[in-house]
Amino acid sequence: MKATARANTNIALIKYWGKRDEKLFLPMNSSLSITLDRFYSTTTVEFMEELKEDKLIFNNNPGSNEDRNKVSNFLTKIRNIAGTNLYASVITENNVPTAAGFASSASGFAALAAAATKALGLKLKDEELSVIARQGSGSACRSIYGGYVEWDMGTRADGRDSVAKQILDEKQWKLTILSAIVDSGIKKVSSRDGMKRTVENSPYYKGWLDTVSDDLREAKIAIKERDFQRLGEVMESNALKMHATMLGARPPILYWESGTVEIMNYITELRRTGIPAYFTIDAGANVKVLCLPEHEEGIKKALMELKGVLQVIACYPGQGISYL
């Protein structure tokens, strides 16, 4: 009753922002991501008769109460599917930069879903695993797959059709994603709370919903045609639009630090010199820069020289879930 799984993180090109069902993690819009090869979570789950509660070890430390509750609630969903009430020991290791604000919930819940269901002997299709992972953290449903992945929001109330699928595998289009970690000390609003507040009271959220499906359609065409400029433009615009909805919320949410803005300005300038590169930002201060592999070295060096930038790591489209 023990299994180990590894899942990579993903970066959304077209963002998921807002839930229509908080309990089932059903999104207000469909989204699209690239799974990243360099950052991953490795998780071992063992269900045992002798345990009186779930145990969590997170990066060699006991997890926080909040983390333990999230993991335990998620395991209960899996226990219900498998028809067991055994508790589990969960040991998880995150291979992501230690700097604050680097999202790992996607890889964390994807790896946990895969390891826990395997440990219980459930034989699941990728789509079924994706539906389960979604209920730990929305973006986790995309980390089941490698390469370029679309999460279809679905329409059913029970969420069975709110599932991710691969649209292009990781070997079919090699782009570079430069992951820039910026200096950020302040504790930010979680994506969960940030999207909730935005949906509840930002007057701009309607503008997001009115246009996000067009952005997604355009991104998919760009991927199909390997049109880098088109993909970059719609990705950048979509990220800025998401952040604009948060600025309109009350109280407003601003995730950017000075380093974030420095990178945005630098990338915009770089394009004026004829080098195509585009940025995207999740619910945090860090920035991902999408560029062609032939420009990666030069851009990485220049980013490292910006004052607010601590670290830059080059990533490529990576694989989906693996079992160790």
Nearer to ligand PMV, 103 or 216 (CB): 103
Q: How far apart, in whole angstroms, are the C-alpha atoms of residue 82 and residue 75?
A: 10
Contact positions with ligand PMV (CB under 6 A) in 15-34 = 15-16, 31
Q: How far apart, in whole angstroms, are the C-alpha atoms of residue 38 and residue 181?
A: 14
Nearer to ligand PMV, 77 or 192 (CB): 192
Nearer to ligand PMV, 88 or 133 (CB): 133
- Residue 296 as a binder of ligand PMV (CB under 6 A): the answer is no
Nearer to ligand PMV, 3 or 212 (CB): 212
Name the residue among 157, 169, 154 with its Cα closest to residue 37. Answer: 169
- Residue 197 as a binder of ligand PMV (CB under 6 A): the answer is no
What's at 120, amino acid-wise? L
Tokens 């069975």 belong to residue = 160
- Residue 74 as a binder of ligand PMV (CB under 6 A): the answer is no
- Residue 179 as a binder of ligand PMV (CB under 6 A): the answer is no
Q: How far is the CB of 87 from ligand PMV (least distance, A)?
A: 25
- Residue 9 as a binder of ligand PMV (CB under 6 A): the answer is no
What's at 137, amino acid-wise? S
Q: How far apart, in whole angstroms, are the C-alpha atoms of residue 181 and residue 100?
A: 9
Q: How far is the CB of 244 from ligand PMV (least distance, A)?
A: 13
- Sign of the dihedral through C-alpha 135, 137, 141, 145: negative
Contact positions with ligand PMV (CB under 6 A) in 110-139 = 137-139
Given a contact cutoff of 8 angstroms between Cβ atoms, the answer to whether 246 and 252 are in contact is yes
Nearer to ligand PMV, 40 or 47 (CB): 40
- Residue 230 as a binder of ligand PMV (CB under 6 A): the answer is no
- Residue 243 as a binder of ligand PMV (CB under 6 A): the answer is no
Region near ligand PMV per CB under 6 A, out of 10-18, 59-67, 80-88, 180-188? 10-18
- Residue 105 as a binder of ligand PMV (CB under 6 A): the answer is yes
Task: Count the site residues for ligand PMV by CB under 6 A.
Answer: 13
Nearer to ligand PMV, 170 or 282 (CB): 282
Nearer to ligand PMV, 149 or 299 (CB): 149
Q: How far is the CB of 104 from ligand PMV (least distance, A)?
A: 9
Q: Which residues bind ligand PMV (CB under 6 A)?
A: 12, 15-16, 31, 103, 105, 137-139, 191-192, 282-283
